[in-house]
Amino acid sequence: MFDFLKRKRWATFAIRHNEAIPINIIADAAIASKNLREGKLIPLVIIDRSQRTDIAEFVRLHQHLPSGDVECQWGQRQGTSGKIALFLKFIRPSEIFAVLEFDIEKQGGLVDQILRAGALYVQPGEAGDRLSKTSDHPKILIHIPDTGFSPEWEKILTKHLIAGFKRRGLKGSRAKESALMFLNEWRKLGKIQMR
């Protein structure tokens, strides 16, 4: 299904069992601030605090410490076709590993915006939380550097969009045109910058 799967490189991580389970994303939103990332629209995910109390504590703690270090890697967990995972290895202030998994069809736009903004906010919360209610809750801003994944993502997203349009009844080049048009329009929205 994906070209990139044919030449993927497998990697194994030495992590605790609970860290290998993707964190449940409750809601997502985006924030643009004048003084951050040139005012770009930075996506925010609200994650389930009950699943990973250590991450909730880590985010709280981070408010009282200087900025930390994180290594990130885009990839796919074994046996999860149609999903893309962001592996986050926090080094400072605490050593914690986390996996955020996105459904390409439903959350492809979110992944696309993370790549374009080069950053992501993570805020622990609970079921039913929305940014409108939790804007003052602690959150961390993670820099997502360009790891060379963008060209691969472009192909994955385009293929998924084309497949989606085909399922809705469009054929061949019409599906491709519609997918590209949709992507352009989506990215226009994502280009909004606070000045």
Contacting residues toward other proteins, per CB under 8 A: 53-54, 56-58, 60-61, 64-66, 92-95
Phi, psi of 122 (to 5 degrees): -125, 125
Q: Are 57 and 75 in contact (CB under 8 A)?
A: no
Residue by residue, DSSP assigns 112-152 as HHHHHHTEEEEEEE-TT--HHHHTTS--EEEE----S-HHH
Minimum CB distance to other proteins smaller for 17 or for 64: 64
32 or 61, CB closer to other proteins? Answer: 61
Nearer to other proteins, 40 or 62 (CB): 62
Q: In the complex, what is the shortest distance from the CB of residue 50 to other proteins, in angstroms, rounded to a whole number? A: 11
- Minimum distance from CB of 64 to other proteins (Å)? 5
Closer CB to other proteins, 57 or 105, in the complex: 57
Cβ at position 53, least distance to other proteins in Å: 5
Report in angstroms how near the CB of residue 88 gets to other proteins at its nearest.
Answer: 16
Please report, for residues 100, 110, 127, the alpha-carbon distance to residue 84 in angstroms, rounded to integers and kept in the order given.
8, 11, 23
Three-state DSSP state, 51: coil
